[in-house]
Every structure is written in structure tokens, then in C-alpha cells.
């Protein structure tokens, strides 16, 4: 199955290192990041899970729950978590799905057979309060993800869901943003009282409105 932007994130039940969950119920009305790992006891994945665990407080500040997945069973995840703590100093502090029957991997299209028949790729799904998919990322097994980049994107997703703005290349929290073209100049004057600069008629920038 292909899960695309704007789709309702498929609901599922699964065993995790923190007990059985029903995804939509577990996520509640907040945001979630669902991310897959190729296999347990692999080097890149070990570093990724340590990095993700370290940044959990930052995800929590943004009302984002994290949940990992690999096709190994939960008891294997629990053993691996000791290695992750040894190597990275971080206890994995979010649930890890034991997707040994590949139910969730298949539901989300996390197995790309031309990359590997047996392992998931490094997929990321950011799901919003309305259970809709706001972001997808796919990395190969050989390339670890940047979890700070994920936070940066979530800042953009959360900002642009509340204001008629978009964020430019390399934007980070606090930088100026772009007023969307659905907003007329007249409307922009009232909606963005800090003012705006028209670099082109279609490219108007304004200070980040929620600061």
C-alpha cells in the first residue's frame, strides 16, 4: 500500500515494547512520528535510536509522540535497547513496534522489495492531530536520518497549519516566512500586522507570526 500526503494514516493494532497499542487511540489528538528501522542489532539503527531518544523532550514540547518499528519481535527490541543504552547513553524512551508479521510495514509500504525483501527501509510518517499524513520520508538502510531536521520540519508543519504562510528553503524557527498567494495584499496588512516585504508580487515575506 502507498500512504501519501493527506491520506488518513492507516490505523492498526500492534505489540510494542510498551505493551499493545491501537495506533489512532495511542496517538490521540496530538501529532505522531512513526519511523521504521531495517533490523535490530544493526549499527546505523543503533545510533538513530539513541539520537531519537535524546531528542524526545523536543518532540514532546511540540506535542509529538514518537514510535519506532522494525520487523523483529518485541523481545528482540528489548534486548537491543540495552545495547543502545551502552553505546549512546540513551534509554529508548518511546514504544518500538515488533512487526514480525510485517502487518504495519505492509500497511505503510515500508518494505521496498527492490531495496530488500526482508527489511524495511528507513521510513518516516509525520501524522497530524486529524490523523492525516503531513510528511513522508524514505531513506535507504545505509543512511541514518537527521532527527533535528525532523524537528525543523515539524516546526514548519505546525506553523503553516495555523497561519496562511509557507516556509522558505532552509527555514528554521524564528526566520521570516512567506505569505501564501491566496492572501491579497489588503488582507495581508491585517493578518500580518508586523508588515511584509514584497520581493516579487508572488513572494512576500513577513516575520514569523506566532512569535
Q: Which three cell numbers stand for residue 6?
A: 493527506
Rounded to whole angstroms, the Cα distance separating 77 from 192 reads 48
CA 184 to chain centre: 32
Please pick, from the candidates 19, 43, 57, 113, the single residue that binds ligand BEZ as defined by CB under 6 A: 43
Rounded to whole angstroms, the Cα distance separating 146 from 190 reads 38
Dihedral (CA of 130, 136, 141, 143) sign:
negative
In angstroms, give the least distance from the CB of 152 to ligand BEZ. 23
Residue whose CB is less far from ligand BEZ, 15 or 72: 72
Beta-carbon contacts of 198 under 8 Å, excluding residues fewer than 6 positions away, are 185, 204
Could you confirm whether 45 is annotated as catalytic?
A: yes
Residue whose CB is less far from ligand BEZ, 45 or 74: 45
DSSP 11: P
Please pick, from the candidates 18, 21, 24, 44, the single residue that binds ligand BEZ as defined by CB under 6 A: 44
**Which range, of 42-50, 123-131, 182-190, 203-211, touches ligand BEZ by CB under 6 A?**
42-50
Q: Is 141 in the site for ligand BEZ (CB under 6 A)?
A: yes
Please pick, from the candidates 38, 50, 68, 95, the single residue that binds ligand BEZ as defined by CB under 6 A: 38
Residues near ligand BEZ (CB under 6 A), total: 9
Catalytic residue positions, numbered: 45
Amino acid at each position: 500500500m502507498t500512504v501519501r500526503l493527506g491520506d488518513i494514516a492507516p490505523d492498526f493494532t500492534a505489540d510494542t515494547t510498551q505493551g499493545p497499542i491501537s495506533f489512532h487511540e495511542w496517538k490521540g489528538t496530538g501529532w505522531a512520528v512513526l519511523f521504521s528501522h531495517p533490523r535490530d542489532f544493526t549499527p546505523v539503527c543503533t545510533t538513530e535510536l539513541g539520537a531519537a531518544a535524546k531528542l524526545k523532550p523536543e518532540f514532546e514540547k511540540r506535542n509529538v509522540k514518537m514510535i519506532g518499528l522494525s520487523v523483529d519481535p518485541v523481545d528482540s527490541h528489548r534486548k537491543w535497547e540495552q545495547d543502545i543504552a551502552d553505546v549512546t547513553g540513551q534509554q529508548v524512551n518511546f514504544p518500538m513496534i515488533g512487526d514480525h508479521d510485517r502487518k504495519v510495514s505492509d500497511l505503510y509500504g515500508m518494505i521496498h522489495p527492490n531495496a530488500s525483501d526482508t527489511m524495511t527501509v528507513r521510513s518516516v510518517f509525520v501524522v497530524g492531530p486529524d490523523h492525516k499524513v503531513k510528511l513522508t520520508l524514505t531513506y535507504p538502510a545505509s543512511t541514518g536520518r537527521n532527527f533535528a531536521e525532523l524537528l525543523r520540519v515539524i516546526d514548519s508543519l505546525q506553523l503553516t497549519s495555523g497561519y496562511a504562510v509557507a516556509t522558505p528553503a532552509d527555514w528554521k524557527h524564528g526566520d521570516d516566512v512567506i505569505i501564501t498567494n491566496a492572501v491579497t495584499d489588503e488582507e495581508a496588512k491585517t493578518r500580518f500586522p508586523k508588515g511584509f516585504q514584497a520581493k516579487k508580487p508572488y513572494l512576500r515575506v513577513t516575520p514569523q507570526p506566532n512569535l
